[in-house]
Amino acid sequence: MLNDLKESRVPKEWHMKAWQLDRLGGTLSFKDIPVPEPRPGSVLVRIEASSLMSYLKDYVEGKLPMYNPPKRAFTPGGQWCGRGARNRPKCLAH
C-alpha cells in the first residue's frame, strides 16, 4: 500500500485539527494547526480513529515522571488507526 502513495510535499495551506498539550501538566487545547511535512524515510498518516486510554489523564497532568516530553507543544496519543497520506524518499513498505 505505501508504495502506491505519491511522493510529494504537503501544501502549506493544508491544516488539521489536533489536541495539543503546551507542556505536561499544562493546558490541553483543540487547535487548527498546519499538516506536518513527513521527514525522509517517513509516512504522513491521516488518523481516522484514536482511543482514549485510562492512563492519559496522568500523562496529561505530568504524573508519569519517566516520560521525556518535547520542549514545545505536542499532540499526546497512543493507539490509533489511519491511512497513509504521503510518503518521502527511502520509506520502506511492510
pLDDT (0 to 100) of residue 1: 44
| Residue 2: pLDDT over 50 | no
Q: How much is the pTM? A: 0.62
Q: Are 44 and 38 in contact (CB under 8 A)?
A: yes
- Residue-wise pLDDT tens digits, 41-92: 788 888 888 876 777 788 788 887 667 778 888 887 778 888 877 666 665 5
- Residue-wise pLDDT tens digits, 55-64: 778 878 888 7
**Cα separations in angstroms, 11 against 15, 36, 37, 84, 86:** 9, 10, 9, 16, 11
- Residue-wise pLDDT tens digits, 25-45: 888 889 998 888 888 878 888
pLDDT (0 to 100) of residue 32: 92
Question: Which cell numbers in the block locate residue 54?
Answer: 485510562
Beta strands in 1-94 (DSSP E): 15-21, 28-34, 43-50, 80-87
Domain regions of the chain by residue span: 2-87
Q: Which residue has the cell 516530553?
A: 69
